[in-house]
């Protein structure tokens, strides 16, 4: 209630009293004297009249004061209710509240405000300095200037800053404030109120998001984006560093570790590698994880870059331990120099990657400095990929056929389809020159389908015409069979060609079996149920365990030709071939020797109970026509 209203109310009460008394004084005696002539009676009546006057005025005063006091109580109660409601709202919103009397410098806060900072009410005095002292030194200037501005222009503010918790850590606060009382004449704020909100959780999430955007969560090392930023910053400070070296590291055969031990252990090893590498670099060097098993080291110490490479190679030699089991690793490193090899981050990254591949190709576990000729080689392989694609759309791939012979009877029992590329530019190209590339870029999948279809169609033609009805062996790359829909795909082709699955033998390699034994067993079982025969190609070069082989639905082992080649001179090879034959017999599998070129090899195989063979001694892979002639002569 403002003062004017209070004054008016008081005046009203006094005014009513004054008027009433005046009327009474002026008229009561005259009226009484008019009716009463007896002086004694008049005197005593006047005494009663006085008493009556006091009684009436007391009643009037009572009713006036009562109604006003009631009104004041009611208003106080309403005010109290409102304050309580406001406090509930503030508490519900978990808002700290402060009220600052600017003229007296008194400062009031609520319990929530105190709780944000772990304070008790006794910890603070009623002074504004209580909380300005707690503001983070880096944020003090911001808070001060913001409040000063509000004191000037009376506009509310919202800012974020840190305050010290009672236990010493920093709490992120979102603070708002506004001037609620001011002296208009002096243009001066008298009172400010505002809220504090604890936004530490939100800030933590924000910081985490920023961290994740710039760092690798597994190793906590900078990622490629942050590496580029740091590189650009280094260039900006170019005056300090004349040169930079960029090392691209890739762990050798790390995929095998993931395949054999699973990703959890793979991740653990990556963390250990990151730790070892971090210890090898200089304080000004930067290390970053840029891919699954790829790291980049950026160093200004170009003079010692070879030493750094050697140290990195050395530090990997010591075994990594997984559940007390030692695992050995190596790394291949590509090195590029700034500014000799490239000027931009992207250029250097690309060339370092190329140099790393060169290090891998020259036997892994080493380092190579980038040279222009490396890029040219890479262009060649990119060109090869394009030519394979062109070859596929121009139908440049065809099949040659090599017979498989029963050594006891000399009869052709089957045939292996071997792909050939009839390139109009290069001429005849052998599979070793394009299959590895096609596997790497997965072009083997469309190519493999073409091969499968052509082999089945040819088999159907020979079967229908009565030329040949033996087994058709088809090579299947691990990349093909690893595809989830592999079985469905070949089944679709087989149904179109309309041929019995028992006529088809799928040659798969040991490496596929070892990669994911459960998946391999499951897929082979599906194929076997349909009726396909399954043989293991190049047997002896992988590491299949006997116990595992026993569980697989196999049909045949094909002894790799490297063991057959030196049978006459190498007694180890003789022992291996004997062992493989014995193993096949024990597992009740057929066994076929590949690459038989001499009569001597054939005799050795026969002596050791090997049933079948394939090789130049009997026939080379042949075109359809030549193979048909061969069959007629056989």
Give the interface with Ca ion as residue ranges (CB under 5 A): 475, 507, 537-538, 594
With respect to ligand C2E, which residue has the nearer C-beta, 179 or 536?
536
252 binds, among ligand C2E, Ca ion, none (CB under 5 to 8 A by kind): none
With respect to ligand C2E, which residue has the nearer C-beta, 288 or 509?
509
459 binds, among ligand C2E, Ca ion, none (CB under 5 to 8 A by kind): none
DSSP assignment string, 44-65: HHHHHHHHHHHHHHHHHHHHHH
523 binds, among Ca ion, ligand C2E, none (CB under 5 to 8 A by kind): none
616 binds, among ligand C2E, Ca ion, none (CB under 5 to 8 A by kind): ligand C2E
Residue 431 CB, nearest distance to Ca ion (Å)? 10
DSSP code for 421: E
> Across-strand partners of 178?
193
With respect to ligand C2E, which residue has the nearer C-beta, 262 or 436?
436
Alpha-carbon separation of residue 439 from 1, 279, 421, 480 (angstroms)? 90, 37, 15, 9
Residues 462, 465, 466, 467: is their CA dihedral positive or negative? Answer: negative
CB atoms within 10 A of CB 486: 18
Q: How far apart are CA 265 and CA 329, in angstroms?
A: 14
With respect to Ca ion, which residue has the nearer C-beta, 465 or 623?
623
> Across-strand partners of 147?
none
Residue 400 CB, nearest distance to ligand C2E (Å)? 7
Residue 433 CB, nearest distance to ligand C2E (Å)? 9
135 binds, among Ca ion, ligand C2E, none (CB under 5 to 8 A by kind): none
Alpha-carbon separation of residue 212 from 223, 230, 290, 356 (angstroms)? 9, 16, 13, 27
96 binds, among Ca ion, ligand C2E, none (CB under 5 to 8 A by kind): none
419 binds, among Ca ion, ligand C2E, none (CB under 5 to 8 A by kind): ligand C2E
Q: How far apart are CA 310 and CA 297, in angstroms?
A: 13
Residue 255 CB, nearest distance to ligand C2E (Å)? 19
With respect to ligand C2E, which residue has the nearer C-beta, 175 or 595?
595
Q: Which residue is nearest to ligand C2E (CB)?
A: 615
Residue 596 CB, nearest distance to ligand C2E (Å)? 6
Q: How far apart are CA 147 and CA 149, in angstroms?
A: 5
597 binds, among Ca ion, ligand C2E, none (CB under 5 to 8 A by kind): ligand C2E
Would you tell me which residues interact with ligand C2E (CB under 6 A)?
402, 417-419, 430-432, 435, 448, 451, 475, 477, 537-538, 561, 594-597, 614-616, 621
With respect to ligand C2E, which residue has the nearer C-beta, 334 or 615?
615
Residue 606 CB, nearest distance to ligand C2E (Å)? 16
Residue 491 CB, nearest distance to Ca ion (Å)? 21
Look up residue 480 and give its two tokens: 């093909």
With respect to ligand C2E, which residue has the nearer C-beta, 415 or 417?
417
Look up residue 519 and give its two tokens: 């998946």
428-438: burial string, b at 16+ Cβ within 10 Å, e else:
ebebeebbebb
> Across-strand partners of 18?
none
In sequence order, what are the residues at sequence separation of 6 or more whose Cβ sits closer than 8 angstroms to the Cβ of residue 316? 273, 276, 329, 330, 331
With respect to ligand C2E, which residue has the nearer C-beta, 175 or 414?
414
> Can you say how many angstroms the Cα of residue 536 is from the centroid of all Cα atoms in its chain?
38
Evaluate whether 218 touches 270 at the Cβ level (below 8 Å): yes
Residue 417 CB, nearest distance to Ca ion (Å)? 9
What are φ and ψ of residue 581, in 5° steps? -60, -45
CB atoms within 10 A of CB 5: 9
* Polymer length of the chain: 634
Q: How far apart are CA 221 and CA 219, in angstroms?
A: 5
> Can you say how many angstroms the Cα of residue 238 is from the centroid of all Cα atoms in its chain?
33
Residue 485 CB, nearest distance to ligand C2E (Å)? 17
Rg (CA), the chain: 48
Residue 221 CB, nearest distance to Ca ion (Å)? 43
Torsion, CA 270, CA 274, CA 275, CA 281, rounded to 10 = 160
Look up residue 61 and give its two tokens: 């005063």
601 binds, among ligand C2E, Ca ion, none (CB under 5 to 8 A by kind): none
288 binds, among ligand C2E, Ca ion, none (CB under 5 to 8 A by kind): none
CB atoms within 10 A of CB 290: 21
402 binds, among ligand C2E, Ca ion, none (CB under 5 to 8 A by kind): ligand C2E
Evaluate whether 160 touches 173 at the Cβ level (below 8 Å): yes
Q: How far apart are CA 388 and CA 55, in angstroms?
A: 122
CB atoms within 10 A of CB 268: 16
With respect to ligand C2E, which residue has the nearer C-beta, 204 or 411?
411
> Across-strand partners of 558?
592
With respect to ligand C2E, which residue has the nearer C-beta, 228 or 561?
561
With respect to ligand C2E, which residue has the nearer C-beta, 252 or 505?
505
418 binds, among Ca ion, ligand C2E, none (CB under 5 to 8 A by kind): ligand C2E
Residue 598 CB, nearest distance to ligand C2E (Å)? 9
With respect to ligand C2E, which residue has the nearer C-beta, 150 or 509?
509
430 binds, among Ca ion, ligand C2E, none (CB under 5 to 8 A by kind): ligand C2E
With respect to ligand C2E, which residue has the nearer C-beta, 64 or 445?
445
177 binds, among Ca ion, ligand C2E, none (CB under 5 to 8 A by kind): none
Residue 443 CB, nearest distance to Ca ion (Å)? 19
With respect to ligand C2E, which residue has the nearer C-beta, 250 or 594?
594
Residue 434 CB, nearest distance to ligand C2E (Å)? 9
The side-by-side arrangement of strands in the sheet containing 170-183 is: 106-109, 96-101, 188-198, 170-183, 157-164
In sequence order, what are the residues at sequence separation of 6 or more whose Cβ sits closer than 8 angstroms to the Cβ of residue 460? 497, 498, 499
Paired sense of beta strands 612-613 and 590-593, if any: parallel
Residue 430 CB, nearest distance to ligand C2E (Å)? 4
388 binds, among Ca ion, ligand C2E, none (CB under 5 to 8 A by kind): none
Residue 579 CB, nearest distance to ligand C2E (Å)? 20
With respect to Ca ion, which residue has the nearer C-beta, 510 or 538?
538
């Amino acid at each position: 209630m403002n003062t004017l209203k209070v004054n008016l109310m008081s005046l009203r009460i006094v005014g009513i009293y004054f008027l009433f008394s005046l009327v009474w004084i002026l008229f009561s005696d005259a009226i009484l004297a008019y009716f009463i002539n007896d002086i004694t009676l008049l005197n005593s009546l006047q005494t009663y009249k006085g008493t009556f006057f006091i009684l009436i005025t007391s009643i009037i005063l009572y009713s006036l004061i009562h109604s006003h006091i009631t009104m004041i109580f009611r208003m106080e109660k309403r005010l109290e209710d409102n304050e309580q409601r406001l406090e509930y709202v503030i508490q519900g919103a978990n808002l700290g509240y402060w009220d600052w009397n600017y003229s007296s410098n008194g400062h009031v806060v609520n319990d929530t405000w105190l709780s944000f900072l772990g304070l008790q009410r006794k910890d603070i005095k009623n002074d504004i300095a209580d909380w300005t002292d707690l503001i983070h030194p880096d944020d003090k200037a911001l808070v001060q200037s913001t409040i000063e501005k509000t004191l000037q222009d009376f506009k509310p503010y919202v800012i974020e800053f840190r305050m010290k918790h009672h236990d010493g850590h920093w709490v992120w606060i979102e603070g708002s404030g506004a001037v609620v009382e001011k002296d208009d004449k002096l243009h001066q704020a008298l009172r400010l109120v505002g809220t504090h909100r604890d936004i530490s959780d939100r800030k933590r999430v924000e910081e985490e998001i920023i961290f994740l955007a710039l760092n690798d969560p597994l190793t906590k090392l900078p990622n490629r984006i942050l590496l580029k930023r740091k590189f650009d910053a280094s260039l900006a400070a170019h005056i300090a560093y004349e040169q930079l070296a960029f090392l691209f590291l890739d762990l050798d055969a790390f995929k095998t570790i993931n395949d054999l031990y699973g990703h959890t252990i793979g991740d653990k090893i990556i963390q250990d590698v990151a730790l070892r590498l971090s210890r090898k670099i200089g304080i000004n060097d930067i290390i970053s994880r840029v891919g699954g098993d790829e790291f980049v080291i950026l160093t200004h110490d170009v003079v010692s870059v070879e030493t750094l490479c050697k140290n990195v190679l050395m530090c990997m030699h010591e075994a990594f331990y997984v559940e007390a089991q030692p695992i050995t690793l190596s790394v291949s490193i590509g090195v590029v120099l700034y500014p000799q090899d490239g000027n931009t981050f992207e250029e250097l990254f690309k060339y370092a990657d190329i140099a790393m591949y060169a290090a891998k190709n020259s036997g892994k576990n080493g380092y190579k400095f980038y040279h222009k000729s490396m890029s040219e080689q890479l262009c060649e392989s990119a060109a090869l990929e394009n030519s394979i694609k062109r070859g596929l759309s121009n139908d440049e791939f065809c099949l040659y056929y090599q017979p498989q012979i029963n050594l006891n009877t000399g009869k052709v029992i089957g045939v292996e389809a071997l792909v050939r590329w009839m390139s109009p530019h290069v001429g005849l190209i052998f599979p070793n020159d394009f299959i590895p590339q096609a596997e790497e870029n997965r072009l083997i999948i469309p190519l493999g389908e073409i091969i499968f279809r052509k082999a089945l169609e040819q088999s159907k033609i020979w079967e229908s015409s009565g030329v040949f009805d033996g087994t058709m062996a088809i090579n299947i790359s691990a990349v093909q069979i690893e595809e989830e829909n592999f079985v469905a795909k070949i089944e679709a082709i087989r149904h179109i060609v309309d041929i019995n699955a028992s006529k088809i033998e799928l040659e798969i390699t040991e490496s596929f079996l070892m990669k994911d034994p459960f998946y391999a067993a499951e897929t082979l079982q599906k194929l076997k149920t349909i009726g396909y025969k399954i043989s293991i190609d190049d047997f002896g070069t992988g590491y299949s365990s006997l116990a595992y082989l026993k569980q697989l639905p196999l049909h045949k082992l094909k002894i790799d030709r490297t063991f057959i080649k030196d049978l006459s001179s190498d007694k180890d090879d003789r022992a291996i071939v004997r062992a493989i034959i014995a193993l096949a017999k024990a597992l009740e599998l057929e066994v076929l020797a590949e690459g038989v070129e001499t009569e001597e090899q054939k005799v050795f195989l026969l002596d050791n109970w090997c049933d079948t063979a394939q090789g130049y001694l009997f026939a080379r892979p042949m075109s359809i026509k030549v193979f048909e002639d061969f069959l007629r002569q056989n």
